[in-house]
């Protein structure tokens, strides 16, 4: 049996741009997204002790109220949307419709696009397992909120990492020959 070949090009750590965005282009919101964002942005602004930081949140609040968020504020918007979804605040305060609207919005932010791209890369890598029998599968705790899943067939060993920053391929070894 030949030596396993390590594949590193499946890594999902690249920087990406928001879906459908062009450098400098603004992201348009719908009224449901605008309404769902008002409270979380207000909370972030109120929590900011530094006047400059508070101004950034106020700028975001004004952009959201106008339903058009410029490119420089998209990272900040992504952080708010992510927090509202992860905490359950979007659903609690706005119902299922607000949660769905925030999920759709999240994918359009740089943070959401990076997460979606990492899942797409994972699905591509998992496609290599198609038609093969699973020989072994195991999970490991790597740290608080960080896990690894190892899947092994006769031709492929794939290690997938899961953590607060998303999912990524940690390693892939393919039998050649």
What pLDDT score does 166 carry? 86
50-77 average pLDDT score: 95
pLDDT for 79-109, tens place per residue?
999 999 999 999 999 999 999 999 999 999 9
For the chain, the farthest-separated pair of C-alpha atoms sits apart, in whole angstroms, at 64
CB atoms within 10 A of CB 114: 19
pLDDT for 43-60, tens place per residue?
999 999 999 889 999 999
How far apart CA 144 and CA 127 sit, in angstroms, is 29
What pLDDT score does 176 carry? 57
Structure token digits, residue 151: 């899947």
Listed range (9-13, 114-118, 168-172) with the worst mean pLDDT = 9-13
Q: Where are the alpha helices (DSSP H) in the chain?
A: 31-47, 51-65, 74-87, 89-106, 110-127
Look at residue 1 and tell me whether its pLDDT is greater than 80.
no
74-82 average pLDDT score: 95
Q: What share of the chain is helix, strand, coil (3-state, %, to 5)?
A: 50, 25, 30
What pLDDT score does 148 carry? 97
Global pTM reads 0.72
Look at residue 19 and tell me whether its pLDDT is greater than 60.
no
Look at residue 149 and tell me whether its pLDDT is greater than 60.
yes
pLDDT for 108-147, tens place per residue?
999 899 999 999 989 998 888 889 999 999 999 999 999 9
Which one is predicted more confidently, 47 or 1?
47
| Percent of the chain clearing pLDDT 70 (strictly above) | 85
């Amino acid at each position: 049996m030949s030596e396993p070949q390590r594949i590193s090009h499946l890594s999902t750590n690249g920087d990406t741009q928001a879906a459908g965005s062009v450098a400098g282009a603004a992201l348009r919101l719908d009224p449901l997204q605008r309404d769902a964002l008002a409270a979380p942005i207000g909370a972030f602004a109120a929590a900011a002790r530094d006047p400059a930081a508070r101004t950034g949140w106020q700028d975001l609040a004004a952009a959201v109220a106008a339903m058009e968020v410029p490119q420089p504020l998209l990272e900040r918007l992504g952080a708010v949307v992510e927090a509202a979804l992860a905490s359950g605040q979007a659903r609690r305060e706005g119902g299922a419709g607000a949660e769905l609207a925030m999920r759709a919005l999240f994918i359009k932010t740089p943070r959401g696009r990076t997460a979606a791209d990492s899942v797409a890369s994972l699905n591509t890598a998992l496609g290599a397992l198609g038609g093969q029998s699973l020989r072994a599968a195991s999970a490991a705790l790597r740290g608080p909120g960080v896990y690894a899943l190892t899947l092994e067939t006769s031709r492929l060993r794939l290690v997938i990492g899961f953590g607060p920053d998303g999912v990524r391929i940690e390693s892939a070894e393919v039998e050649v020959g």
